[in-house]
């Protein structure tokens, strides 16, 4: 019997499917059009087109933009918020900041819950956790009656100081459950028991309003899979780089808001580690955007400072991914001062680049690459035919003529501006964090990443570029490489010099008991559970903290402080050993390990790469077009060496190897491009 592991990654334009044979490690991929009106339709259609018998599937992992798109489009269920008297406007006041400090006319998006649906009740718990004003239960039931009349589907309960004493929130939840049967009730003390009311309230609101959306979607998909013969749990990829089962997806729906971008970062890390690189930078360049991630010492950077819409933070741990508007469809345009720009505006999938022939006449990155010969005249295995003449006309009228350039120079300029934008993004996630790009490998993937990978590596002095065997569906592969994961935390405010290690150990024990319960609920065996502890610390007077891993059992505060000093020095290039250190948060990561099949390794027998044709291509390194061999990735044997100039084409991407650059195909069919050799 065939044993398959299947991953489905639903994007805005395409649904990517990755199928891994457990026994052989053979990998095959498929792409199908997404169905935004109901993503489940596109997913199930893709499984049919890939000829997958769900009875043969042992693991089904799913990355989705359902939660993300619900927030962006505001297609949300009728929801409400119940908060402490006097605090109904916390999520609207926010931090009183703006995304663009200098644009006084640009407003922050409206809160996800209208003011009329943010109700207050009388209660108060002081900063120390003592009850100052008991919960007015008559008032609470009256507010529940109002919400029942309004027919809400989800309620977020957010009381002040509930992070230190949740008794009032717990009672409010009980009252709402009694008065509003069937309605999703989410409390801030269960969702994010941390100080800073705006971040806690905002995360709870996101979690609450997404619960009906995610819960319904996951339930329908689970039913469809089981009807088809799938016998195991559906695994949903979340922002932290792990997966959840349907048992917990509805309860922590907000974690799925970053599902899509996390998958690519996970796959990038895995591929780099497979190739022997513990330090890597992932470049996922698609049609509209470019996602940049970083791995140092084999570990992805994790952040709790992220959002889908500015002003409404989601404080669940998430793999740090920096997204900019640079993709194949990004538009080239000239400002009033005559400067050339690239993005963030995009032609999207419809009408798409000028070469699609759907009415767009503004040049895009795809048009520039096609005009230069770096792209062929067909994509997706011939499913999309490209009009090179239309691309050349768009470049000529949109950039070349207004700037007095010849068309080739204009096309190169368009690509150069895109590369500069992406290089700046890489610098932000590396150099500004204290990392030297020269110590990293660049993993270039997505539909357009391999087109720009070498140029970007040269700009940043990155020595090696790795192009995965299936760049366009690498994110789907990431869904197959993750474990079940939960992240728990609680605020712990104390000076390090006064902290009691026994008290800290006791609190970690409480979180571990909760984590153990979640994993048991999801069917994880004791032997497959891994619990990782950490403490967030900061110098006295700071409000930004650093997360430092600590041992179990926890016995030494000074050891943790020394680790903090070292991490602070690496992150910010200074340390203050004589400054008091404060403890801010205790965190626990609970992992249920999932057995992972190995990718197929191919023997290297000295076979050579054979070109399937040639065309004239313009490169940045030489003047004039150069006759360039064209290779099919599917025909490249492991161990083959390719000397640039060369173009490698395949179903989901195109790889550019400039003149003087050497590339080789490794045993996993990754294309490793040695940029440093050409630069030396």
The CATH number linked to 545 is 3.30.1490
Three-state DSSP class for 15? Answer: strand
Number of independent structural domains in the chain: 3
Sequence-separated (6 or more) residues with CB below 8 Å from residue 269: 280, 282, 293, 295, 298, 300
**Helix or strand holding residue 676 (H, E):** helix 675-679
Q: How far apart are CA 264 and CA 259, in angstroms?
A: 10
Question: Are 191 and 177 in a shared domain?
Answer: yes
Q: Are 594 and 483 in contact (CB under 8 A)?
A: yes
Question: What is residue 12's predicted lDDT score, i.e. its pLDDT?
Answer: 65
Please return the burial class of 559, using the count of CB atoms within 10 Å of its CB with bins 0-12, 13-18 and 19+: middle
Question: 3-state DSSP: the chain helix, strand, coil percent, rounded to 5?
Answer: 35, 25, 35
Confidence of residue 380 (pLDDT cuts 50, 70, 90): low
In 3D space, the residue among 6, 3, 21 whose CA is nearest the CA of residue 62 turns out to be 6
**Segment 120-145 mean pLDDT:** 95
Task: Express each pLDDT in 436-479 by its tens digit.
Answer: 999 999 999 988 999 999 999 999 999 999 999 988 888 888 88
Q: Which of 568, 592, 616 is the last residue of a domain?
A: 592
Question: Are 124 and 222 in a shared domain?
Answer: no
Q: Which of 559, 592, 625 is the last residue of a domain?
A: 592
Question: What is residue 113's predicted lDDT score, i.e. its pLDDT?
Answer: 96
Q: Are 645 and 658 in contact (CB under 8 A)?
A: yes
**Residue, of 620 and 381, whose pLDDT is higher:** 620
- SS3 letters for 174-187? HHHHHHCCCCEEEE
Domain-located, residue 145: yes
Least confident of 25-29, 74-78, 129-133, 274-278: 25-29
Q: Is pLDDT at 122 greater than 80 in this prediction?
A: yes
Question: Are 50 and 91 in a shared domain?
Answer: no
Q: How far apart are CA 512 and CA 587, in angstroms?
A: 10
Cα torsion 198, 199, 200, 205 to 10°: value is 80
Three-state DSSP class for 209? Answer: helix
Domain-located, residue 407: no
Question: Are 178 and 251 in a shared domain?
Answer: no
Domain-located, residue 397: no
Residue 295, token pair as written in the block: 């791995």
Question: Are 93 and 135 in a shared domain?
Answer: yes
Q: Is pLDDT at 679 greater than 60 in this prediction?
A: no
* CA distances from residue 178 to 79, 143, 174, 256, 435 in whole angstroms, order as listed: 17, 13, 6, 28, 53
Domain-located, residue 305: no
Domain-located, residue 191: yes
Strand partners, 582: 495, 538
Question: Are 80 and 198 in a shared domain?
Answer: yes
Q: Which of 592, 620, 653 is the last residue of a domain?
A: 592
- C-beta neighbour count of 366 within 10 angstroms: 26
- C-beta neighbour count of 405 within 10 angstroms: 17
Question: Are 254 and 129 in a shared domain?
Answer: no
Q: How far apart are CA 261 and CA 289, in angstroms?
A: 11
CATH of the domain at 243: 3.30.420.40
The average confidence (pLDDT) of the chain is 90
Q: What percent of the chain has pLDDT over 70?
A: 98
Task: Express each pLDDT in 488-541 by its tens digit.
Answer: 888 899 999 999 999 999 999 999 999 999 888 877 889 999 999 999 999 998
The residue ranges of DSSP E strands in 326-390, in sequence order, are 330-334, 340-346, 378-379, 384-385
Question: What is residue 480's predicted lDDT score, i.e. its pLDDT?
Answer: 84
Strand 124-125 vs strand 299-300: parallel, antiparallel, or unpaired?
unpaired
Q: How far apart are CA 470 and CA 216, in angstroms?
A: 32
Residue 631, token pair as written in the block: 């290779």
Question: Are 525 and 551 in a shared domain?
Answer: yes
* Placement of tokens 């349907």 in the chain: 246
Three-state DSSP class for 265? Answer: helix
Question: Are 86 and 186 in a shared domain?
Answer: yes
Domain-located, residue 413: no
Q: Are 199 and 207 in contact (CB under 8 A)?
A: no
CATH of the domain at 156: 3.40.1360
Question: Are 82 and 199 in a shared domain?
Answer: yes
Question: Are 125 and 232 in a shared domain?
Answer: no
Three-state DSSP class for 96? Answer: coil
Q: Is pLDDT at 112 greater than 60 in this prediction?
A: yes
Strand 184-187 vs strand 154-158: parallel, antiparallel, or unpaired?
parallel
Strand partners, 281: 294, 442
Find how far residue 387's CA is from the centre of its chain: 33
* Placement of tokens 């290297």 in the chain: 604
Domain-located, residue 499: yes
Question: Are 95 and 177 in a shared domain?
Answer: yes
Which residue segment(s) compose the domain that 551 sits in?
484-592
Q: What percent of the chain has pLDDT over 90?
A: 61
Q: How far apart are CA 524 and CA 516, in angstroms?
A: 9
């Amino acid at each position: 019997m065939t044993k398959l592991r299947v991953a489905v990654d639903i994007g805005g334009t395409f649904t990517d499917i990755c199928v891994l044979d457990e026994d052989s490690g053979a990998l095959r991929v498929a792409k199908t059009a997404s169905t935004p009106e109901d993503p489940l339709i596109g997913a199930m259609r893709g499984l049919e087109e890939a000829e997958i018998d769900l009875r043969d599937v042992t693991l089904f992992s799913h990355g989705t933009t359902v939660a993300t798109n619900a927030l962006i489009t505001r297609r949300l269920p009728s929801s409400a918020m119940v908060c402490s008297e006097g605090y109904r406007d916390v999520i609207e006041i926010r931090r009183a900041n703006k995304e663009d400090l200098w644009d006084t006319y640009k407003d922050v998006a409206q809160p996800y819950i209208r003011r009329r649906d943010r109700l207050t009740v009388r209660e108060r718990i002081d900063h120390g956790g003592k009850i100052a004003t008991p919960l007015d239960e008559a008032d609470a039931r009256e507010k529940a009656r109002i919400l029942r009349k309004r027919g809400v589907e989800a309620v977020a309960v957010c009381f002040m100081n509930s992070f230190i004493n949740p008794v009032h929130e717990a009672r409010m939840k009980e009252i709402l459950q009694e008065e509003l049967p069937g309605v999703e009730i989410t409390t801030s003390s269960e969702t994010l028991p941390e100080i800073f009311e705006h971040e806690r309230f905002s995360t709870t609101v996101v979690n609450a309003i997404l619960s009906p959306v995610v819960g319904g979607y996951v339930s329908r998909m689970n039913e469809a899979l089981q009807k088809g013969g799938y016998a195991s749990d559906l695994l949903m990829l979340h922002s932290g780089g792990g997966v959840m089962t349907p048992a917990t997806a509805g309860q922590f729906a907000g974690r799925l808001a970053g599902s899509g971008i996390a998958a690519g970062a996970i796959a990038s890390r895995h591929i780099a580690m497979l190739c022997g690189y513990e330090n890597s930078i992932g470049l996922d360049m698609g049609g509209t955007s470019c996602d940049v991630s970083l791995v140092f010492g084999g570990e992805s950077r994790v952040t709790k400072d992220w959002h889908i819409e500015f002003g409404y933070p989601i404080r669940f741990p998430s793999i740090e991914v920096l997204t900019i508007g640079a993709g194949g469809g990004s538009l080239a345009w000239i400002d009033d001062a005559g400067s050339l720009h690239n993005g963030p505006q995009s032609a999207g999938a419809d009408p798409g680049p000028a070469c699609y022939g759907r009415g767009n006449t503004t040049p895009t990155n795809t048009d520039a690459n096609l005009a230069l010969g770096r792209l062929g005249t067909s994509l997706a295995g011939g499913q999309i035919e490209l009009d090179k003449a239309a691309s050349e006309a768009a470049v000529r009228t949109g950039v070349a003529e207004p700037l007095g350039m010849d068309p080739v120079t204009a096309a190169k300029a368009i690509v150069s501006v895109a590369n500069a934008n992406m290089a700046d993004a890489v610098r932000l996630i590396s150099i500004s964090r204290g990392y030297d790009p020269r110590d990293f490998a660049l993993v270039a993937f997505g539909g357009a990443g391999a087109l720009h990978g070498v140029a970007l590596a040269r700009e940043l002095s990155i020595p090696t570029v790795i192009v995965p065997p299936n760049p366009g569906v690498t994110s789907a592969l990431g869904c197959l490489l993750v474990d079940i994961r939960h992240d728990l935390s609680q605020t712990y405010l104390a000076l390090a010099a006064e902290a009691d290690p026994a008290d800290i150990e006791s609190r970690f024990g409480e979180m571990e008991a909760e984590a153990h319960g979640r994993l048991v609920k999801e069917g994880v065996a004791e032997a497959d559970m891994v619990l990782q502890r950490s403490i967030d610390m900061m110098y006295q007077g700071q409000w930004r903290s650093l997360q430092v891993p600590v041992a179990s059992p926890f016995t030494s505060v000074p050891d943790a402080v020394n680790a903090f000093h070292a991490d602070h020095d690496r992150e910010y290039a200074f340390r203050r050993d004589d400054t008091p250190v404060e403890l801010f948060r205790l965190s626990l990561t609970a992992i249920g390990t999932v057995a992972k099949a190995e990718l197929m390794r191919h023997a290297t027998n000295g076979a050579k790469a054979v070109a399937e044709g040639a065309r004239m291509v313009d490169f940045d390194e030489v003047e004039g077009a150069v006759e360039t061999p064209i290779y099919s990735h599917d025909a490249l044997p492991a161990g083959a060496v390719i000397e640039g100039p060369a173009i490698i084409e395949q179903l989901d991407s195109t790889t550019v190897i400039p003149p003087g650059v050497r590339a080789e195909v490794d045993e996993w069919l990754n294309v490793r491009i040695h940029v440093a050799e050409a630069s030396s």
